[in-house]
């Protein structure tokens, strides 16, 4: 089959599935194919194939939870550098009929043999072998240029929770079997799919990284063979087939999650991790459990309530703290008068939240996390009082003193009013680079989300405290921010993002754009965004004109600006009366699907 025939075939399959073409209010909008409108069901993910997989289940009568699992496993096939069976995630569900909210934490945890100093020791050993040179620079300018053992190789791998999480969620709230909802993913893995520009750009980056570093080439052998086209940079339209992953998915259909946690798939994963220098054991897999958590809830301006992810994510707390601070201004009025002041206030509020993240946050099952204090209106008022309209403050003045190209988000809604907001990850692009080969599973490097080497920022340039130190069984602090926004008690927006700490700032800005500024969802998703995480003390911006009033206004207040950081990718779903609007951020080439 030629590439052209393949694409035409898929185009036919896809067009036959979509009843309502992408566009606003049912009107096709050729200029914005990343927006879809429907009435009965909607999936917004960062892969067209995955959104279609979810839609297929919705149209067959499955609910949003069934469709979420179908979407997620299809994402594992088509976005294998972002998330997958070797990773974990968080899912928020609000049931339409009862209004009950369920939050599932199926994040990876540290293996039982993990220790707080394992990465310091591993780096010393690596340096003896390779010397301090030949090393890699991370995306954050202040991060050390090192092939950190917490990022690459077997030691970087946390105990995967993805399969256990979906099985638990499906058993509790789903209506379809594992076998049924995995079927679209099996097809995609078996028949293949055409890679898009985003896949190609990640492949080019990964190949360049491996070309420069023999150590990474060694670790990523399986990756090169299975997902990087034998080292030849793919072009958009090239077809990727994953027969081993298709076999794994079929085995999961037959045997359920025990094939991974107690069976032969798990054995393959353990062998791959151990031969890449890791410490994962079959006991780590057999004792892994997802955890049901209580959602974090905050009110915003009387009418709104936000359902947010609690620890071990930092996302919910940071969004809550930032919105609580911003509530002390009439931000929409400020923005009409002076957009750069509104941006400045938002950045200053975010810096307080990220300073508190760095000092206080970790897995609350293992370290004291002052959630109530950090999300209280009184604390936010005090922090708001410290923000000056005209200037930034010294770094130490943010938060309260201490007493610490991966990831994928999707949203689903169904005709029964159920809403899902779910973020999943293997951490950075292609995770640890280790592939459990016969199973076709890319393994996470979530251990780098811990304070892996005290005093050193992680891959995202985040400094963290010993509240987030490595402890066996503990979950590393996350930035994933799956969120559902209610107005007058009814869901109006599901939103979340991928991109490490940029997840938090991007999710917050889309919430502000829709809820506070009343912007159409399409503009909110497409529009420019900025990012500040307190440390490093740099305000990142991308699409704002460098000589425009917003950037000038921020510079005049003392912000140090840079345009050298990738942007987050947001997926969102808006619910207005009986209309569902799905939006997949054009930055990653996703497409929503609805009917
Ligand atoms: N691994 C990205 C996050 O959890 O924030």
Give per-residue pLDDT as tens, 248-260.
999 999 999 999 9
Reported confidence tier of residue 145, pLDDT bands at 50, 70, 90:
very low
Span 187-208, average pLDDT? 96
Q: Domains (ranges, CATH) in the chain?
A: 43-112+149-291+407-468 (no CATH), 311-405+480-574 (1.10.246.130)
Nearest Cα to 245, choosing from 441, 86, 398, 383?
A: 441
* CB atoms near residue 127 (< 10 Å): 14
- Ligand 1 centroid distance, CA of 284 (Å): 21
Span 44-63, average pLDDT? 98
Residue 132's pLDDT is 52
Main-chain phi, psi angles of 463, to 5 degrees: -90, 140
- Characterize 265-304 residue by residue with b for buried, 16 or more Cβ atoms within 10 angstroms of its Cβ, and e for exposed: bbbbbbbbbeebbbbbbeebbeebebbebebbebebeeeb
Q: Which atom of ligand 1 is nearest to the CA of 426?
A: 1
Tokens encoding 314: 């930092």
Give SS3 for 420: strand
Residue 36 has pLDDT above 90, yes or no: yes
Residue 44's pLDDT is 98
Distance, in Å, from the CA atom of 355 to the CA atom of 467, rounded to the nearest integer, reads 14
Q: Among 449, 505, 566, which is best to mutate for testing ligand 1, by the most ligand atoms less than 8 A from CB?
A: 449
Ligand 1: which residue has its CA nearest to atom 4?
Answer: 478
Tokens encoding 388: 């000056």
> How do 561-562 and 539-541 pair as beta strands?
parallel
**How far is Cα of residue 104 from the mean position of the Cα atoms in its chain?**
15
The pLDDT tens digits of the residues spanning 279-331 come to 999 999 999 999 999 999 999 999 999 999 999 999 999 999 999 999 999 99
Residue 87's pLDDT is 98
Reported confidence tier of residue 566, pLDDT bands at 50, 70, 90:
confident
Please indicate whether residue 8 or residue 57 has the higher confidence score (pLDDT).
57
Span 207-222, average pLDDT? 90
442 close to 100: Cβ distance less than 8 angstroms: no
Nearest Cα to 119, choosing from 145, 147, 87?
A: 147
Answer positive or negative: Cα dihedral of 15, 20, 26, 32.
Answer: negative
- Ligand 1 centroid distance, CA of 85 (Å): 15
Give SS3 for 233: coil
Residue 401's pLDDT is 57
Tokens encoding 97: 């009929």
Q: Which atom of ligand 1 is nearest to the CA of 501?
A: 5
Ligand 1: which residue has its CA nearest to atom 1?
Answer: 427
The pLDDT tens digits of the residues spanning 378-410 come to 999 999 999 999 988 888 888 775 442 679 999
With 0-12 / 13-18 / 19 or more C-beta atoms within 10 angstroms meaning exposed / middle / buried, residue 131 is exposed
Q: Which atom of ligand 1 is nearest to the CA of 476?
A: 4
The pLDDT tens digits of the residues spanning 69-105 come to 999 999 999 999 999 999 999 999 999 999 999 999 9
Give ligand 1 pocket residues (Cβ under 6 A).
407, 425, 427, 446, 449, 478-480, 500
Distance, in Å, from the CA atom of 137 to the CA atom of 33, rounded to the nearest integer, reads 35
Report the half-sphere exposure of 312 (CA within 13 A, side-chain side): 30
The alpha carbon torsion through 48, 54, 58, 61 (nearest 10 deg) reads: 140
- What is the average pLDDT value for the chain, to the nearest integer? 91
Span 366-377, average pLDDT? 95
Residue 6 has pLDDT above 50, yes or no: no
Residue 17 has pLDDT above 50, yes or no: no
Residue 134's pLDDT is 40
Reported confidence tier of residue 166, pLDDT bands at 50, 70, 90:
very high
Please indicate whether residue 113 or residue 146 has the higher confidence score (pLDDT).
113
Residue 266's pLDDT is 98
C-alpha to C-alpha distances, 214 to 135, 155, 240, nearest whole angstrom = 10, 18, 25
- Ligand 1 centroid distance, CA of 107 (Å): 9
Answer positive or negative: Cα dihedral of 170, 173, 175, 181.
Answer: negative
* CB atoms near residue 232 (< 10 Å): 11
Please indicate whether residue 509 or residue 564 has the higher confidence score (pLDDT).
509
- Ligand 1 centroid distance, CA of 427 (Å): 5
Whole-structure pTM value: 0.91
Span 33-47, average pLDDT? 96
Residue 203's pLDDT is 95
Residue 19 has pLDDT above 70, yes or no: no
Residue 131's pLDDT is 59
- Ligand 1 centroid distance, CA of 233 (Å): 27
Distance, in Å, from the CA atom of 221 to the CA atom of 216, rounded to the nearest integer, reads 8
Q: Of 96-105, 188-197, 213-222, 321-330, which range is least confident?
A: 213-222
Asked if the bond preceding 536 is cis, omega within 30° of 0, the reply is: yes
Reported confidence tier of residue 22, pLDDT bands at 50, 70, 90:
very low
Span 509-530, average pLDDT? 95
Residue 587 has pLDDT above 80, yes or no: yes
Give SS3 for 557: coil
Ligand 1: which residue has its CA nearest to atom 3?
Answer: 478
Please indicate whether residue 528 or residue 18 has the higher confidence score (pLDDT).
528
521 close to 575: Cβ distance less than 8 angstroms: no
Tokens encoding 21: 């073409």
Catalytic residue among 268, 346, 407, 481: 407
Q: Among 480, 482, 531, 566, which is best to mutate for testing ligand 1, by the most ligand atoms less than 8 A from CB?
A: 480
The answer to whether 407 is a known catalytic residue is yes
The pLDDT tens digits of the residues spanning 480-490 come to 999 999 999 99
């Amino acid at each position: 089959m030629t590439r052209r025939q393949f694409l035409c075939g898929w185009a036919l399959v896809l067009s036959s599935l979509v009843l309502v073409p992408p566009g606003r209010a049912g009107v096709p909008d050729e200029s914005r194919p990343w927006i879809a409108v429907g009435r009965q069901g909607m999936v917004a993910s960062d892969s067209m194939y995955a959104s279609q997989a979810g839609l297929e289940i919705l149209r067959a009568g499955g609910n949003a939870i069934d469709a979420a699992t179908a979407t997620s496993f299809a994402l594992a096939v088509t976005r294998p550098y972002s998330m997958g069976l070797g990773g974990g995630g968080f899912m928020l569900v609000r049931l339409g009929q009862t209004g009950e909210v369920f939050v599932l934490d199926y994040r990876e945890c540290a293996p039982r043999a993990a220790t707080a100093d394992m990465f310091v020791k591993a780096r010393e050993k690596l340096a003896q072998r390779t010397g301090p040179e030949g090393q890699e620079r991370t995306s954050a300018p202040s991060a050390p240029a090192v092939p950190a053992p917490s990022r690459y190789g077997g030691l970087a791998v946390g105990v995967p929770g993805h399969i256990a999480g979906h099985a638990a969620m499906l058993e509790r709230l789903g209506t379809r079997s594992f076998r049924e909802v995995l079927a679209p993913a099996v097809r995609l893995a078996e028949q293949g799919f055409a890679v898009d520009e985003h896949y190609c750009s990640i492949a080019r980056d990964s190949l360049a990284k491996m070309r420069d570093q023999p150590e990474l080439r060694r670790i990523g052998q399986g990756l090169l063979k299975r997902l990087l086209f034998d080292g030849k940079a793919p072009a958009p339209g090239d077809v990727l087939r994953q027969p081993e992953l298709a076999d794994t998915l079929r085995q999961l259909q037959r045997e359920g999650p025990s094939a991974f946690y107690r069976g032969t798939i798990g054995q393959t994963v353990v062998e791959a991790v151990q031969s890449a220098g890791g410490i994962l054991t079959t006991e780590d897999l057999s004792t892994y459990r997802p955890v049901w958590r209580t959602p974090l809830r905050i009110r915003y301006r009387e009418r709104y309530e936000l359902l947010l992810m609690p620890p071990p994510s930092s996302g919910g707390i940071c969004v809550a703290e930032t919105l609580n601070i911003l509530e002390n201004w009439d931000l929409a009025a400020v923005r009409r008068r002076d957009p750069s002041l509104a941006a400045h206030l938002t950045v200053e509020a975010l810096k307080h939240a990220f300073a508190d993240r760095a000092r206080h946050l970790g897995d609350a099952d293992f370290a004291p996390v002052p959630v109530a204090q950090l999300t209280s209106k009184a604390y936010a008022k005090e922090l708001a009082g410290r923000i000056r309209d005209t200037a930034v403050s010294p770094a130490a003045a943010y938060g309260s003193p201490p007493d610490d190209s991966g990831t994928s988000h999707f949203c689903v809604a169904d005709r029964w009013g159920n809403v899902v907001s779910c973020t999943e990850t293997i951490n950075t692009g292609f995770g640890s680079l280790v592939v459990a080969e016969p199973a076709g599973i890319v393994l996470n490097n979530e251990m780098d989300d811990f304070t892996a080497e005290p005093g050193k920022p992680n891959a995202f340039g985040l400094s963290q405290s010993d509240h987030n130190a490595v402890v066996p069984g503990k979950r590393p602090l996350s930035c994933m921010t799956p969120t559902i926004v209610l107005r007058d008690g009814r869901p109006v927006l599901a939103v979340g993002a991928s991109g490490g700490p940029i997840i938090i700032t991007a999710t917050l800005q889309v919430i502000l754009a829709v809820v506070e500024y009343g912007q159409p969802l399409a503009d909110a998703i497409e529009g420019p965004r900025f990012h500040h995480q307190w440390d490093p003390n740099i305000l990142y911006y991308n699409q704002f004109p460098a000589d425009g009033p917003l950037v000038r206004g921020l510079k005049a207040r003392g912000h140090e600006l840079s345009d050298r950081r990738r942007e987050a990718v947001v997926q969102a779903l808006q619910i207005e009366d009986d209309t569902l609007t799905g939006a997949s951020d054009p930055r990653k080439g996703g497409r929503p699907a609805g009917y």
